[in-house]
Structures are given as C-alpha cells and as structure tokens.
Amino acid sequence: MAIIGYARVSSVGQSLDVQLEKLSHCDKLFQEKHSGSSSKRVRLQACLEYVREGDTLVVTRLDRLARSTLHLCQIAEQLEEKQVALQVLDQNIHTGDATGRLLFNMLAAIAQFKTEIRAERQMDGIRNAKARGVQLGRQKRLTDQECLELRLKRQQGVLVKTLMEEYKLSKASIYRYLKGTQVAQAAD
C-alpha cells in the first residue's frame, strides 16, 4: 500500500518544484517535463505500470495527469482494474469512495467542455479574422513574379538544389511553389 506521486510540466523551461513539494509525502515519485499532448510520456507509463493493488496514485491537478477527458478516463479505468486509488490534491479528489469517483468524473467532463469551448472560440476568431481580410499564417517568401521565374527556371532544367540555394528555400517549399499551392493559399 504505497503512495506513488506523478508530477509533470509541459516544457523544459518550467519548474516541477511546486508539484514536488506537494508530493513530498509520497513513497515513490515519477516526474517528467513533457507536453500533455505528447504520446511519449514514458515516466507516466512507467508510473502506471509500477502501481499495484492497494496503492494510491497522487497528482497535484487533473491536467498534470491526462491530455483529455478520454485519456483521463482511460487512465482511471486502468487504475480501477489494478485496484489503485487516485488522489488529486488541488481539487481534493480521492477515488477511494463513491463520492470521490463522482466528483472525479464531473470535473473530467467539465475540463473537456472547457477545452472544447476554447477550441470553438479560437476557430470563431480565425473565421472572423479571415472575413476581415487578415492574412493568417506565415507570409509567403516569394512574390508572384518570383514564383513565375522559379517555375520558368525549373522548366529550363535548373536543378531543385540550385533553386533552393538561389531562393533560400527548403526543398518542400520549392516544390510547393512549383505546384502553385503557395500562390493559391495567398489568394484565400
């Protein structure tokens, strides 16, 4: 019956100190600096494999554990199968009883709702900006005239490598300009 802690921050520049202090009572601690959206969270996987029946997995907040409600539910199911309780310190949740499990599921659903609302607002903002004529994304490097010159040189047999050096573009960008997708994107 061990208490196992898991701490995560999203980027290398962030500090784990606050989480580690809150988890200092744990018998064993897993920590990593990795984005929540990344599938390569090896320390989380190691933690989930390590926990045994009767253990309690402790995190400071739900968003430190999972990247989505689905992922959170998958982790919760995995812990339940192993008969491991989950404790979330900042939200005062402990899945060792029915009330804790109810609260856990409600907060997970609310977190997913907030994520989806944020994404919808972002898409609305992008649509509104496009409607106002705001140019989104990276500005194209070549003018329409330079695009025509690039295509003409390629038709005349100039190597892509030479075009890359001359126009200071990547191979992929040269091919996009040759296909005309850069010009089409700029017109959108």
Using DSSP's 3-state secondary structure scheme, residue 148 falls into helix
**188 has a pLDDT exceeding 50:** no
Query: pLDDT tens for residues 90-149?
Result: 988 999 888 888 888 888 788 778 888 989 999 999 999 989 988 887 778 888 899 999
Residue-level pLDDT at 88 = 92
Q: Identify the CA nearest to 57 among candidates 39, 33, 78.
A: 78
Q: What one-character-per-residue DSSP string does 21-77 give?
A: HHTTT-SEEEEEE--TT-S--HHHHHHHHH--TT-EEEES-GGGT-SSHHHHHHHHH
**25 has a pLDDT exceeding 60:** yes
Percent of the chain residues topping a pLDDT of 70? 93
**How does the average pLDDT of the chain come out, rounded?**
86
More reliable by pLDDT, 188 or 39: 39
Query: pLDDT tens for residues 46-77?
Result: 999 999 999 999 999 988 888 777 888 889 88
* pTM, two decimal places: 0.60
Residue-level pLDDT at 37 = 57
Q: Identify the CA nearest to 94 among candidates 52, 51, 56.
A: 56
Would you please indicate which residues are annotated as catalytic (active-site) residues? Answer: 10
Residue-level pLDDT at 185 = 40
Domains of the chain plus CATH, in order, are: 3-112 (3.40.50.1390), 144-187 (no CATH)
Using DSSP's 3-state secondary structure scheme, residue 87 falls into strand
169 φ, ψ to 5°? -125, 160
8 φ, ψ to 5°? -150, 140
